[in-house]
A and B are shown apart, each in its own frame.
Chain A
């Protein structure tokens, strides 16, 4: 006789299903943990290997060594790659030797310096979490938000303005206010292409990209005009924000680890709750998965798109806000190191699930942080991380490549993530 599964089991299955389920993918019943994470893990591994090839191929000393002898060449490749990746590791996680020395010495400053790499990775991960959530929420709602970068800039500008221009507020009001201003600015910037899609069918992919460029010009104009720092001599940089608007850092220099990381985790939970536990989330996901059925079920597709883009933009704006209020404390043009495109990659690698986004963000933050150290040690441009991210994304999007590389078995159901196609504007 078939045993009736009890309620807890079912609730658990719902959760598992949500984690496994991508926007379009019909989920098979249960997947083991390994098969759920095999593809991303192997994709990351392969990305690192290809990164190593790039390191070796662009190193002059490797070529010199090969001229000497083949064995010498191989040895140099190993040394070059090892040095680079060791720098990547110690720069992002920490140097075990340094940590034990510091702990032994008992010197506060040494201990802080030893633990800084790991905590700095979390600092780097924080804006990724917000930006990744922005993209993931968009995908779940049937939207491809390539405009995170622009929304982040506008959000940062708004947070900065509220941060320095308003004075005399207590911390407990000023900081949240500035942060929310960032969210609001991003929301507005996301809402515009959302509204355009809803009313005219203009495709959000092109419109959000255009909004990115407009945002860059706008902030450039603001920073060299209305928002410029007195005495900066025309340099596009804003005044420092008030102390009351700052998101507090937990430790002394050089550790920049701040409250924003926990705000990010809280927002990630909130997004999960919104998407999977509330009727609003089901609204968004229904429109995302099948707009025609959503219309049939009585939902307004246009409204859903506009709202989803606004929320997505708000999350992106928070990424900008948190970076200003907790780390930079003033706004300059070099605010973003390409969070916009990175967040697309990390949302997809994280399966558009808030938990996946948080984990992938920490990974990306770690990579980005370690790459800085790698640049110092091995003179390898930080942009190698972008290359690696593109490759990881490629493998995650085309699991068949990874499977054939590593001779994995095919799952029963072909995974696919089909969110947007054509230019029809998604309304039929």
Chain B
């Protein structure tokens, strides 16, 4: 049988990068094809071409053996292609029905919206594919898992035959992810064809019928879950053998450095987002906070680092109360912060690398004498860090906006880790980076721990938390459900806790624990 979709020789060049290099791809009806590759390998570019957001420089697209040109999302929708984007394309202040029908509205009397008619259609789809939603809810009021179902219904509402899922599990708990995989299988069974983009090996092996691996814009191999295992896939993806475990010695932690007691944080609508959290971090240990994004981690971090006012409780650093201290005070007491969003929080993009490397210290000696900045010293300092941390930049005066993501993150790491610190707050330190940078940053974090620094790590990547942490605190709906020794739990147990359940059987020692790495 002819494939329902075929891409032939797709090539896309961006200034300085060959994002897609003559990619061939065929998708059969009723099949789940996984597209595996690192961040920046070119998967998303390829899918954006397929969805009409980019135009390819070369190559053709065939649907049912018929050559088509996709100039816009409208063309893609007409060709039966639908996409669940990594960042949901939903409008929070619109209702479910408005979001779904947008672009293909049910109307009456000319141009008036017929919400009832659209709701009826939505409920039919919802029934047929077992995707329960309430059409009249505002999207901002429903949980992420349901939002994703809304995204899927959006495609089915448009009679899409080819469904693209772009990194769909990033915001889901492992259990929600499993539910999504069930949905995907059932969709495939009902004749829909699915392309599943991911960088997570476990998911690929679990759900795909066929696997294509992309590296540096080109297809480097094709396999099936039966033929492959995690190690072979990882090697294909990265292009070399990857050690999947971080070398880390067991250490006896020292004194308590940071102590959080009954911390209460609210958002601007006075909703409680961090609910009486208590946690200690000791010198020479990494405490990881596991949890699905949006369960209060961001606000917890902001409260600890002084970026957000807490509504109650206490935080101490080296025995000093910092609950209501300013971020600058907290920094001066010997704490460092690698922020979650490096471009928005961690860097001033138009400023030169040198100035970004002193962002938290420029007002102090030796970088300022009186009020006057000592640019000579700032430059020398920058050159030293650029060398020590292997930051790839044309010069210390290049604006950081011109650096790659990995090097931008290295600028932050260099700035924060080069100071004498007792406490490091690392929030999603490897988000969106390539394997090389991830390895480097993990090494640096562990090194800091070995030097006796207290490290608090927040990451939605369960594997990263499992791998780096000595102890793991699981956060759910603003609460810390449990704090466990990372040696004594399995990934499945932590994953279960991330959904709000505490395993009944308790935690057993797991001697031969193998932690895999996510990419």
**Does chain A touch chain B in the assembled complex, meaning CB atoms less than 8 Å apart?**
yes
B125 to chain A: closest CB distance in Å? 36
* Inter-subunit contact B348/A26 (CB<8 Å): no
* Inter-subunit contact A279/B373 (CB<8 Å): yes
* Inter-subunit contact B328/A298 (CB<8 Å): yes
A404 to chain B: closest CB distance in Å? 20
Interface assignment of B252: CB less than 8 Å from any CB of chain A: no
Interface assignment of A282: CB less than 8 Å from any CB of chain B: yes
* Inter-subunit contact B375/A282 (CB<8 Å): no
Which residues of B397-440 have CB atoms within 8 Å of chain A's CB atoms? 397-399, 401-402
Known contacts A24-B350, A27-B350, A29-B394; is-contact A293 B401 (Cβ 8 Å): no
Cross-chain contact of A277 among B329, B346, B373, B376 (Cβ < 8 A): B373
* Inter-subunit contact B373/A282 (CB<8 Å): yes
* Inter-subunit contact B373/A293 (CB<8 Å): no
Cross-chain contact of A13 among B355, B359, B397 (Cβ < 8 A): B397
In angstroms, Cα B327 to Cα A11, docked, is 31
* Inter-subunit contact B351/A286 (CB<8 Å): yes
We find that the number of chain A residues with CB closer than 8 angstroms to chain B is: 33
A residues near B401, Cβ cutoff 8 Å: 26
Known contacts A279-B362, A289-B351, A293-B344; is-contact A14 B373 (Cβ 8 Å): no
Interface assignment of B349: CB less than 8 Å from any CB of chain A: yes
Cross-chain contact of A11 among B326, B346, B355, B375 (Cβ < 8 A): B375
A293 to chain B: closest CB distance in Å? 5
* Inter-subunit contact B376/A290 (CB<8 Å): no
Query: What 1/0 mask marks residues of chain B from 362 to 389 whose CB sits below 8 Å from any chain A CB?
Result: 1100001001110110010000000000
Cross-chain contact of A26 among B344, B349, B395 (Cβ < 8 A): B349
Interface assignment of B168: CB less than 8 Å from any CB of chain A: no
B201 to chain A: closest CB distance in Å? 34
B354 to chain A: closest CB distance in Å? 9
Known contacts A23-B350, A29-B398, A279-B363; is-contact A293 B355 (Cβ 8 Å): no
In angstroms, Cα B363 to Cα A90, docked, is 51
* Inter-subunit contact A296/B307 (CB<8 Å): yes
B residues near A294, Cβ cutoff 8 Å: 348
Interface centre among A11, A26, A286, A297 (most CB of B within 10 A): A297
B residues near A409, Cβ cutoff 8 Å: none
In angstroms, Cα B402 to Cα A294, docked, is 20
A residues near B349, Cβ cutoff 8 Å: 26, 289-290
Which residues of B127-146 have CB atoms within 8 Å of chain A's CB atoms? none
Interface assignment of B445: CB less than 8 Å from any CB of chain A: no
* Inter-subunit contact B345/A10 (CB<8 Å): no
B330 to chain A: closest CB distance in Å? 8
Cross-chain contact of B371 among A13, A280, A296, A300 (Cβ < 8 A): A280
Cross-chain contact of A297 among B360, B368, B395 (Cβ < 8 A): B360
In angstroms, Cα B349 to Cα A283, docked, is 15
**Interface residues on chain B, size class:** 35 or more
* Inter-subunit contact A286/B376 (CB<8 Å): no
Which residues of A1-57 have CB atoms within 8 Å of chain B's CB atoms? 5, 7, 10-11, 13-14, 17, 21, 23-27, 29
Interface assignment of B448: CB less than 8 Å from any CB of chain A: no
* Inter-subunit contact A278/B371 (CB<8 Å): yes
Which residues of B283-316 have CB atoms within 8 Å of chain A's CB atoms? 305, 307
A residues near B329, Cβ cutoff 8 Å: 298
Interface assignment of B331: CB less than 8 Å from any CB of chain A: yes
Interface assignment of B337: CB less than 8 Å from any CB of chain A: yes
B residues near A279, Cβ cutoff 8 Å: 362-363, 368, 371-373
* Nearest A residue (CB) for B396: A10
Interface centre among B329, B331, B399 (most CB of A within 10 A): B399
* Inter-subunit contact A282/B362 (CB<8 Å): yes
B residues near A280, Cβ cutoff 8 Å: 371
Known contacts A292-B345, A295-B327, A296-B327; is-contact A10 B379 (Cβ 8 Å): yes
* Inter-subunit contact B348/A293 (CB<8 Å): yes
Binding site for A on B (CB under 8 A): 305, 307, 326-329, 331, 337, 339, 344-352, 355, 359-360, 362-363, 368, 371-373, 375-376, 379, 394-399, 401-402
Q: Could you jot down 17 A-B contacts, CB within 8 Å?
A: A10-B379, A10-B396, A10-B397, A14-B397, A277-B372, A278-B371, A279-B371, A280-B371, A286-B348, A290-B344, A292-B344, A293-B344, A294-B348, A295-B307, A295-B345, A296-B305, A297-B327
6 smallest CB-CB distances across A and B, nearest first, come from A298-B328, A26-B401, A26-B399, A298-B327, A278-B371, A279-B363
Binding site for B on A (CB under 8 A): 5, 7, 10-11, 13-14, 17, 21, 23-27, 29, 277-280, 282-283, 285-286, 289-290, 292-300
Given contacts A13-B397, A286-B359, A293-B359, 14 further A-B contacts (CB under 8 A): A5-B395, A7-B376, A26-B402, A279-B362, A279-B368, A279-B371, A282-B373, A285-B351, A289-B351, A290-B344, A293-B344, A293-B345, A295-B327, A299-B328
